C-alpha cells in the first residue's frame, strides 16, 4: 500500500517536472533553431561563457523593434557593469588616478563606437533580431546588444564579477597592446 502511494507520488513528480521542462522548451525553441543555434554556440565559445538560461540569450539578441520582450533592460545593466568594470579596473591598478584620467578612460572604452568594434567581431549584427526595416548593423543597435550581453551574463551567472571579467577578456583581446601598456601584469 505504502509502496503504491510512493509510486504514485513519484509518477506525479515526474509528470510535473517534464511538464515544467516542456514549457521551457517551448519558450526557447522557436528562437534557438537551425543555423541560428550554431552561431549562438559560436558566440558562447568566443565570449568564454555558456548561458544556463538560453532564454536570456534570446532576449539579449532581440531589439525593441522586434518584440516587447527585448534587450532594453539588459542593456541598462550591461552599461552599468561596463562602466563599473572600467572604474574598478583602473582604480585597482592606480588608486591615485585623477578624475579626469578615469573619466577619459571610461569615455574611450565604453562609448558606442568603441564597443561596437567588438560587437562586430562577435557578429552580433548577424544574431540580433530586428524589425524588417531596421538595420541590424546600425551602431546603436549592435552596441546596445553588446552591452545587453554583459548584463545578461551578470544575471545568468548571478554575479556582476563574472560579467566584469568577461568584459575585460574581450577588451584585452581587442586592445591587447593598449591594456598591456597600462597593466603589464594583467593576465589576459
Ligand X SMILES: *[C@@H]1O[C@H](CO)[C@@H](O)[C@H](O)[C@H]1NC(C)=O
Residues that bind ligand X (CB under 6 A): 94, 96-98, 101, 107-108, 111, 113-114
C-alpha grid cell for residue 84?
563599473
CB of 97 to ligand X, least distance (A): 4
CB of 103 to ligand X, least distance (A): 10
CB of 100 to ligand X, least distance (A): 7
Nearer residue to ligand X within complex by CB, 59 or 89: 89
Q: Which of 125, 152, 135, 158 is nearest to 71 (CA)?
A: 152
Nearer residue to ligand X within complex by CB, 90 or 150: 90
Instruction: Report the distance separating Cα 154 and Cα 9, nearest Å.
Output: 37
Exposed/middle/buried for residue 36 (C-beta within 10 Å: 0-12, 13-18, 19+): middle
CB of 81 to ligand X, least distance (A): 18
* Cα 1 versus chain centre, distance: 52
Q: Which of 90, 125, 122 is nearest to 105 (CA)?
A: 90
Nearer residue to ligand X within complex by CB, 26 or 96: 96
Nearer residue to ligand X within complex by CB, 25 or 101: 101
CB of 124 to ligand X, least distance (A): 18
CB atoms within 10 A of CB 32: 17
Whether the CB-CB separation of 166 and 49 falls below 8 Å is answered with: yes
Nearer residue to ligand X within complex by CB, 26 or 98: 98
Amino acid at each position: 500500500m505504502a509502496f503504491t502511494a510512493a509510486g504514485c507520488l513519484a509518477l506525479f513528480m515526474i509528470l510535473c517536472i517534464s511538464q515544467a521542462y516542456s514549457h521551457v522548451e517551448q519558450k526557447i525553441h522557436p528562437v534557438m533553431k537551425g543555423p541560428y543555434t550554431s552561431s549562438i554556440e559560436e558566440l558562447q565559445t568566443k565570449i568564454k561563457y555558456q548561458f544556463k538560461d538560453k532564454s536570456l540569450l534570446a532576449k539579449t539578441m532581440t531589439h525593441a523593434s522586434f518584440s516587447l520582450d527585448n534587450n532594453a533592460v539588459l542593456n541598462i545593466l550591461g552599461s552599468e557593469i561596463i562602466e563599473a568594470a572600467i572604474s574598478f579596473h583602473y582604480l585597482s591598478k592606480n588608486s591615485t588616478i585623477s578624475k579626469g584620467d578615469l573619466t577619459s578612460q571610461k569615455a574611450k572604452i565604453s562609448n558606442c563606437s568603441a564597443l561596437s568594434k567588438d560587437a562586430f567581431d562577435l557578429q552580433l549584427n548577424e544574431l540580433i533580431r530586428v524589425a524588417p526595416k531596421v538595420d541590424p548593423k546600425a551602431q546603436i543597435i549592435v552596441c546596445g546588444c553588446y552591452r545587453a550581453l554583459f548584463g545578461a551574463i551578470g544575471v545568468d551567472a548571478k554575479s556582476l564579477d563574472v560579467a566584469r571579467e568577461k568584459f575585460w577578456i574581450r577588451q584585452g583581446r581587442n586592445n591587447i597592446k593598449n591594456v598591456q601598456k597600462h597593466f603589464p601584469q594583467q593576465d589576459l
